[in-house]
Structure 1
């Protein structure tokens, strides 16, 4: 089962057509993301957040449309996105968690979102979490050997070690890499697919793979 989260980030980066194509799937609205979903004809199963970016009229609509709402204090030890992912795990035990509206805007919030899967409470779900916007798809990997499939409109391919990594191999990408290790985070960016499928492997660490396309997309 796949669960989708809509976070209250930069609306211009939300792939609206893809969201509409998923309108009958399970959704969780996070903070102003709940309002965005309602405005676009999607009523999420749950809403969570401190709703500090939602005005009184919008929150009245949220309460009218959504029965399962968890309102959090503004001062808390987690972000709204973290609370949304925890809600998804507890409510659905999903096979995939796709997060929209979590990129762009403030850099500190972007980094908090992108590093979220590394935290202990989410680490079991790390390979099941993706961040998606109009220009990027971010996926996370534990050590192993993997196949990547080319996707339309996403020309570029990046491999980013978020922790120390050992023996990273980009086997058949346009720009191969062999037996690379590093103690610091590093982004091998602007690589490309050399075919419909490409492969990579690594022996230790956590790697994010980012599919990217040039702006504007869809």
Structure 2
């Protein structure tokens, strides 16, 4: 079972067509993300956050429409995205897809990118994906993997978020053999050489990002 989380990040980075395709799946609305879901005809299981980015009328609309809404003070122990993840985990899903968590402020982006490494969320690390109009971020623990090219994605990046040993890119456009690092590092702008490519590493956590250039205006 997949559960989707919509956070209140920049709407221009949110793939609305994909979200509408998943209209009948389970959703959690985070802050302004809950307002957007209702606007698109999707009723989330719950809305969570401090809701400091919406006005009183929008908040009243959420309270009148949704069966469950959890309002937190702005000064709290968890970010809004963490709260969304916590409630997603409560559903015991096989996969968590998070939308609206990228773009805009760089501090928010970095907080969200590293979120699955935190102890509370690490059991769901390999089940978590961050998705926007240009990127799909997946997380991997040590092992050997086959990855499949997503439609419309051109580039492939391998980002060690922790110290990593033995990273090997077997058949990508720019291969790598048994590479290790004690600091985070991003191998960017690589590409698939076939529909399915392979990689492996012995220790650490690696984020794999399939991405594309922005659409020309």
Using structure 2 for the length normalisation, give the TM-score. Answer: 0.98
Is 1:179 aligned with 2:178?
yes
1:9 CA drift (Å): 0.2
Q: d(CA) in 1 for partners of 2:83 and 2:149? A: 32
3-state DSSP of counterpart to 1:51: coil
Give secondary structure in 2 for the equivalent of 1:4: strand
Shift, 1:64, TM fit = 1.4
| 2:186 aligned counterpart, secondary structure | strand
Equivalent residue number for residue 54 of structure 1: 54
Correspondence 1:32 to 2:32: yes
Report what 1:116 is aligned to: 115
State the partner residue of 1:103.
Answer: 102
- Deviating above 3 A after TM superposition, structure 1's stretches of 4 or more consecutive aligned residues are none
1:138 match:
137
Q: Aligned partners of 2:64 and 2:42: how far apart in 1?
A: 14
Secondary structure, counterpart of 2:180 in structure 1: strand
TM-fit CA distance, 1:196? 0.6
Find the counterpart in structure 2 of residue 80 from structure 1: 80
How many residues are treated as equivalent by the alignment?
Answer: 216
State the 1:77 CA deviation. 1.4
Q: In structure 2, what is the Cα distance between the partners aligned to 1:18 and 1:47?
A: 20
1:160 aligns with 2:122: no
1:187-213 CA deviation, whole Å, 9 max, x = no partner?
A: 000000000100000000000000001
Tell me by how many angstroms 1:152 deviates: 1.1
Give ranges in structure 1 of 5+ residues lacking alignment.
Answer: none
- Separation in 1, partners of 2:21, 2:135: 18
Q: What's the TM-score once normalised by structure 1's chain length?
A: 0.98
